[in-house]
Amino acid sequence: MIKKIKELFMPVLIAGVFIGGLVLMFTGNNGSGGGNTIQVIVPELTALGEEGKVLFDASCASCHGDNAAGSDRAPPLVHDIYNPGHHGDEAFVRAAMNGVRAHHWAFGNMPAITNVTEDDVLKIIRYVRELQVANGIATVEHIM
């Protein structure tokens, strides 16, 4: 009898976990209890990463949060969805320079950031990539 219950219950449990994960991913709720923020390990940064941090703090942190941990205005950039295999550096450049239509999160469209140059954005990307590596985010090829 118990074996029969387990056989019936396991597929339901697996489906529930899968669907729940999708809901969390697409609503931007990471379950941290702090809105849309996550805990971020900040590594010792390279010189270029430090320059990027200064620029990020001035131009990006008001929406993407301290250390790219997210906020109630924008998602965390230290998130697997932004791994280099899914969102390459050029995607970050285009988003900052031109703005981007909302597509992974429910925050609305991102406007162009008018107070940064493309060189500034490349430094910001270096900072974000260093944070990602320190937090276990690896390049995963995006297959469509």
Q: Provide the domain count of the chain.
A: 1
Residue 98 lies in a domain: yes
Residue 25 lies in a domain: no
Q: Kindly indicate the confidence band of residue 37, based on its pLDDT and cuts at 50, 70 and 90.
A: confident
pTM of the model: 0.72
Residue 31 lies in a domain: no
Domain that holds residue 56: 47-134
| Token pair 């109630």 in the structure block, residue | 72
Residue 69 lies in a domain: yes
End-to-end CA distance of the chain: 43
Residue 30 lies in a domain: no
The mean-pLDDT minimum among 5-9, 58-62, 77-81, 135-139 falls in 5-9
Q: Which residues contact 47 (CB under 8 A, 6 or more apart)?
A: none
CATH number at residue 78: 1.10.760.10
- CA 89 from chain centre, in angstroms, equals 13
